[in-house]
Structure 1
């Protein structure tokens, strides 16, 4: 499941699985490097994944899209680090929907940091903009509004940020849709696999203490909540929209987001705006006792609304796709093998047995279930129930 994060550049910082791969190199120990080849070479036609963390488009110019280990200038509004990274502690998993086992819906990075003598575990969740993004109002991208009719940029095609399913029963995405409704659930285990912490991180809520009047309230306000464990184990939490509005100084964008196109080209007026939905949380390593930190996982992604048929989508962890080489098609996407475009038909044998099961059908793994919001429990496809 796990793979050590490469510290190299990932194809110029873009991750369009439906576009022919750009020339790229990887450095370090990323799974996309051929163990028998020279450092910096791509891994042609690798089938088993194990690559570095993908880089979804839309991170802006602040460096926010760099790997969790990046040594960004503390003055950068894209910086999200409390301490010094401990070498060799970085791990990343990609998460996939039932219907697409090749295009990541999200990825989770973990790394150990030392801050003022304390050992912290930094966990970051980044969602695919094809599911939800920080575009809203008249400038929303991929939400079925007017902004989608003339994006003013190249069409990425397939499951790109604007190419996912259109929204259900509404004509767009507003800033108020994000406020007080969106959250992410993290489940944290120790080295023995025992659940130590389970909590929601609030995405953005009214916060009079912030310059913009809005910000993430962490685990104790807004949609944030502790389900298992002590809130004292959580040192800090923040989100990309909090950094956009406050650290980056774009607090005026609470009606329409900075204008962009379907490729999320940085806006001239707000070049550091991060259009991706990202959650960062720091945990005290001491909370895991002698067993030590084990893992940080998610079982679903949620946004209300999302660009998908369901606002809550079950996801399953797996290796990240390897970095493609020059002139090689990345895995998955429209026309690729092994996965449907987001929102597409999961497929089946016409006239034969379906390749997935409806709710109530027999299953062995989540991918056996047709619905985005079903998971395999006790051998049966069942709807996921999000704790309140």
Structure 2
């Protein structure tokens, strides 16, 4: 059994500055300890996949990050691990608890299957793993192996934590709830769709510069952004649907001096709606979250989403975004992008339809990530 401070100290010396996760009783000492420190940051994610996406954004932004969660949530994290971290070659250190360990202590019935298959799932995803260190003298050697693998492969590495691996740590006092002032509350009947998505994208490109970071959700949004103008400060997500805002949150935490604009879709936002709560709580001042709302999953054939009639801006308001509103014209959208006092949220009703003969990006995902990292002048791996 080790002390939480010993591991966190060793990780901090190696550049790990952000921890994102979902609680498990095995992880309680880590979470309690990290929350009480000033030299590292803990982000409470709504789910395990969001935690992975947050750490991926932070890693790309130059802050090494750790995602930690219970093995029962490994399935939730599968999408970003396989189609974000793996495809874009973004490393993260994973700490995954081993509930329901075969031959281990008795556990709750919901862990009966996940316990035996946890390490098999990691191997299937081509994520190397080892058991979490149980002695203080092995922490450094363990993290050196993680560093070596991250340097060579730029992909995730997992530490599987058994019960009683870390000594208990007292819980910090709960932070008081904050009163949030929000401007631009929407309300009222749904706004009409007057323009196509590509018209808003063109306006965003014309009004932003190389210091701004633009994250485009998977599907037609990223493809249209690429077709209009391929730029090194643009990140075209593939797969990992619903993770754009979490990825943008991690990037905004790592690069607080830059404006981060997340271009989302109504279907993707609904898929991981809890991510809005993490953005509102962490409150990155220069992040703007734009949701293009056409009420359909357009890139998969136009199937309807549950979005019609949903007031996304009101949801963002309830989640703590500092500004939330609706834009029906490109000019209205640009007026709400802002440069500070965020996070900001803009719901943008758009007409269905994409640019004709829409191409797919010819730049490979790993190259998209590498050139964005180079744009940020972020150094190499450890």
Q: TM-score, normalised by structure 1?
A: 0.26
Which protein, 1 or 2, shows the higher relative CO under an 8 Å CA cutoff with sep ≥ 6? 1
Structure with the largest fraction of strand = 1
Structure with the largest fraction of helix = 2
Determine which structure has more spread, i.e. the larger CA radius of gyration: 2
